Amino acid sequence: RLKTLGGSTTAVSLLNLRQDAGFLATTAGSLPFVLTHPDVFADLPLTFDSLHKTVDEIVTVPFLRNFIDTMCIFCGFPAKGAMTAHMLYILERFFEESACYAVPIGGTCEMGNTLQRGLEKFGGKLQLNAHVDEILVEDGRAVGVRLKNGNVVTARKAVVSNATPFDTVKMLGEEQELPKGVAKWRS
């Protein structure tokens, strides 16, 4: 069952997977796979659910359950927070020809440390637990952000969001003009 589900995640880009009704539009490209593998319909809801629920329902071997939970490190959070589709995509890659498992020298935390050093080298500043409340816009251009604690951070060149497009739009404020299709994401 996991193999068939994994194939469905290969048939459509992970960037198109969403956990709302919009997934019908963004995953339409996987229709040929789904039509040739009708058994995937029964398990399709699991693809968009939390991985721990899928594992509880399908995987009975304790070693495999622990292995899958460990693989969640690639998503950056435990199985209870990972979307099944993301982990299936990662697990599928392990079985491709010439697949390898690599860990950076110093462990995965070293990746974050290296990114922070690069950010600071070019004048950036890392703020942890600095949640954005609003993206500040002047003359149609994002110029900074207001944090939930009230502090304002101004941008020299650009404001870059790592939130989903849907969450980013909600931070733009009501007065911003947006394309028709995008404006409805605010609700």
Same domain, residue pair 84 and 139 = no
Number of domains in the chain: 2
Minimum mean pLDDT range among 43-57, 60-74, 128-142: 43-57
pLDDT value, residue 124: 86
Q: Higher-confidence residue: 123 or 6? A: 123
Q: Tell me the pLDDT tens digit for each residue of 141-157.
A: 899 999 999 999 999 88
Establish if 17 belongs to a structural domain: yes
What is the distance between the alpha carbons of residues 127 and 120, in angstroms, rounded to a whole number?
11
pLDDT bracket for residue 2 (50, 70, 90)? low
| 82 and 139 share one domain | no
Tell me: pLDDT of 1 over 90: no
Could you tell me if 78 and 31 lie in one domain? yes
Q: Last residue of a domain, which of 94, 119, 146?
A: 94
Domain identity same for 6 and 77? yes
In a domain, 45, yes or no: yes
| 90, 136: one domain | no
Residue 40 domain flag? yes
- Which pLDDT tens digit goes with each residue over 61-102? 999 888 888 877 766 666 677 777 777 777 777 777 888 877
Letter string b/e over residues 14-39, b meaning 16 or more CB atoms within 10 A of that residue's CB: eeebbeeeebeeebeebeebbeeeee
Which residues constitute the domain of residue 149? 132-186
- Whether 83 and 143 share a structural domain: no
Give me the residues paired with residue 142 across strands.
137
Let me know if residue 181 belongs to a domain.
yes
Amino acid at 178: L
Q: Does any domain span residue 175?
A: yes
Average pLDDT over residues 20-32: 73
Is 179 among the domain residues? yes
Please report the pLDDT score of residue 147 as a whole number: 96
pLDDT of residue 74: 65
pTM for the model stands at: 0.48
Which residues lie closer than 8 Å to 58 by C-beta, 6 or more apart?
A: 1, 2, 46
- Say if residue 137 is in the same domain as residue 79: no
Question: Among 69-83, 129-143, 165-179, which stretch is predicted with the lowest mean pLDDT?
Answer: 69-83
CB 11 within 8 A of CB 92: no
- 22 in any annotated domain: yes
